[in-house]
Structure 1
């Protein structure tokens, strides 16, 4: 099993596709991976930390601070070094832009900038956003950094439109990771 014992940081961004992150966590755990979830502030409108922490068996990280009064914080450098892979699924247009430009407004972006591991992004956005030149340039920029921007299949979108922009299904994301680690080994 190529994911057995692998340490995966899963970044979940604000998108209706965030509901798929619960299935993704479950599949990664079933494949033998250890999963640490980072939930952006906007993602918590779509999926709860309780759901993801129950499935991952780890507290979900939502910000830099553990305990503000005690001065305890989540060490983004340590998380970036711990991970065998950083997976951002769903990757919203906002997060894609932040990562492509090196902006660091949240814990997920800080971990990305500190990560020494391979990075996989599963975009999820409406088709016009997905096809917008600014977003396609951000995808290209992220690829030029060595990141893996996963294909976004066409299909029915939450807006009612149909086309590319859907997040790759959790089973397909796991298959991509397994292929990567099989080749790497």
Structure 2
């Protein structure tokens, strides 16, 4: 169901970014073409080299290459993709998306995307249940964005609760279900 699908994977600055490596590997194994956009701080959590190797594509993070001036067109990326999957999605990134702030390549691509957007949130339980986060999720849903709810379990803080990014295997299954439902339409 994911064969030949064009997927942009947005990776944000969360400890759950390590799961993005498995996610990319599974998407490529399913036959998808994956382009990874990492926020600047996401690179503190997982290496662009890892993501480029697994996706078989250069990782995008900056608007342009500083050495030759070539630019990464957020408009072209937004047209190219069949889906924009943001996994993990942090509270910070959701807030910026909900309010149209576009201070990095992922956010400008989001605002330019012609494709469906799917979020897999990851954050500590108190951040997840904060009224501002819940309101931002409602705003994003009103734009047509979809969410793969986080699971409960032990969090990086050592606390236990809802906020863990869903397992990569389940995210892939949810994407398959999404595309299967689109075929029926």
Q: Smaller-chain TM-score range?
A: over 0.9
Question: What is the distance in 2 between the residues matched to 1:90 and 1:69?
Answer: 30
User: Hey, what does 1:22 align to over in structure 2?
Assistant: 21
User: Hey, what does 1:177 align to over in structure 2?
Assistant: 175
What SS does the aligned partner of 1:73 have?
coil
User: Hey, what does 2:166 align to over in structure 1?
Assistant: 168
User: Hey, what does 1:142 align to over in structure 2?
Assistant: 140
Contiguous gaps of at least 5 residues in structure 2:
none
Superposed structure 1 runs of 4+ greater than 3 Å apart: none
- Counterpart of 2:152 (choices 130, 154, 163) is 154
What SS does the aligned partner of 2:9 have?
strand
Structure 1 residue 69: deviation in Å?
Answer: 4.9
1:59-138 pair list within 5 angstroms: 59-66=58-65, 68-138=66-136
The normalised TM-score by structure 2 is 0.97
Equivalent pairs, count = 183
Question: What is the distance in 2 between the residues matched to 1:25 and 1:71?
Answer: 28
Question: What is the distance in 1 between the residues matched to 2:166 and 2:98?
Answer: 20
Contiguous gaps of at least 5 residues in structure 1:
none
What SS does the aligned partner of 1:142 have?
helix
Question: What is the distance in 1 between the residues matched to 2:150 and 2:47?
Answer: 24
